[in-house]
Chain A
Amino acid sequence: MKRFALRYAILPIALMIACNIVYAQPQAAIRSAPPVTISSMRDPVDKSYRKMLKGMELFEKLHGMAPTATLRYKLLPRRPDTNMDGIVLKIVGDSITIPVPIAPDHTFILQRNDKALREDAAVIPNRKAGSMTWRTEIRTPGLPPNTRRLGDLRLECRVGLEADLVSNDPPLIGQLASLVRGLTGYCDAAEPQYLFFSERPLFSVTLTAGGRSEILSVDQLYAGISRHPISESELSYCDCQVLLDRTYFLPLGDRSWPDDTLVRLEYMDDSAVTHQSLEAVPSAAPRASKEAR
């Protein structure tokens, strides 16, 4: 009985922490990673190579959610003055350094290297902690322009959490939050507060599946600030800090929307909306797309 009571006494605190975790990237992450030698950058915005490979393994395991999609990791700016040009990314272990090519859209893939795994290497860009954030990018090829597929995005959430791309400042809080996320199946919640980022500032997001179509509430855009306004100073703890107008939530756990649901993004600088073009596409069949690779 005592154990039961203790469990529920801790729960609210852990949940509050978890919410912050999902929103925020570390301002100045302190990790227990093995010592590495970085001559050009102190306090870099690094991630665990081991965890990112675990994310890739989960992607393979759940590939059925996005059968024709590919996985890439992506770097995004977190500060107004972050220079996203010329980023140099490396896998750095005790005795191994592997350069990682970055595409012009700031995405990259990781190769498996057993030595780097054994050395619990870190994935390190030449940018300081808090200057960038990380996400997965899972895209089914051939979707219509400005369109994503819900199954891809469901998988982005799962892989992103598995790879520990979204985390908070203090290690203890991060560990607690990871525990809670693991217990709850966060991405399967009806409305998880997992931030997705669009290519450009958003005005509207519409879900379409079969004959059903629904525009998401503005409360699902812009990190939900229309519903929960918070002071500007708190924005610095959100990894949406400079991407606020590009953020949206999705009803990932609402299974009345199938994985093949199309998620149409209407941007602020778009001209007229063309819902008809979506209705003509019953599934994620390959088509020319400027967004899909």
Chain B
Amino acid sequence: MNGISRLGLALLCCAGIAGCAAPVANENRAVAAPAASQAIVAGQSSKADVIAALGATQTIRFDSGYEVWIYRYRDEKPGPLAQPASKEQLAAEKQSGNAPEFLVLFTPSGVVAKTRMRPAPAIHAGQGK
């Protein structure tokens, strides 16, 4: 590791000390992708509906009243990959920045505005250079 890389790594590490803040509650909850995508209807589902379907999870609340709920999910393929991730898997994926995500956005009135899934990004040649 050259000097620049070492410095960059240190910068990223200390970013945790320097980061900004907002109310964030709970740890991420792992869900199976099909359950996440099918259980929620934008414009209809309430917070209670989402908790009933997927459970409570990490939440970011903004002054505007909007909330973002963050779930980590597994691949949508049937079989073992459709199962919730273990805590260890979640921790490793989150640390690497490659954790698949399922996000739910709530309006200030507490209804789901929209959702999005983020698959784990594919490793690309030359990435990070």
Contacts and interface: CB of A to CB of B under 8 A. Distances in A.
A193 B97 contact: no
A188 B113 CA distance: 36
Interface string B1-38: 00010011011101111111111100000000000000
B125 A23 contact: no
Contacts of A245: 62, 64, 66
A174 to B, nearest CB: 14
B70 interface: yes
Contacts of B21: 225, 229-235, 238
Interface residues of A, number: 60
Contact of A223 (B17, B20, B68): B20
A154 B14 CA distance: 22
Nearest to A223: B20
Contact of B103 (A19, A186, A203): A203
Nearest to B119: A215
A254 interface: yes
Contact of B18 (A20, A80, A235): A20
Contacts of B124: 212, 256
Contact of A191 (B12, B17, B20): B12
A22 B126 CA distance: 27
- Looking at chain B's contact residues, is the secondary structure mostly helix, strand, loop, or mixed? mixed
A255 interface: yes
Contacts of B129: 254-256
B50 interface: no
A224 B19 contact: yes
A193 B15 contact: yes
A212 B18 CA distance: 32
Contacts of B105: 203, 268
Interface of B: 4, 7-8, 10-12, 14-24, 58, 60, 62-64, 66, 68, 70, 94, 97-99, 101, 103, 105, 113-114, 116, 118-119, 121, 124-129
10 contacts: A15-B10, A18-B14, A201-B62, A203-B116, A217-B98, A219-B97, A230-B20, A234-B21, A235-B22, A268-B113
Interface of A: 11-12, 15-16, 18-20, 22-23, 80, 180, 183-186, 189-193, 201, 203-204, 212, 214-219, 222-235, 237-238, 240-242, 244-245, 247, 251, 253-256, 266, 268, 273
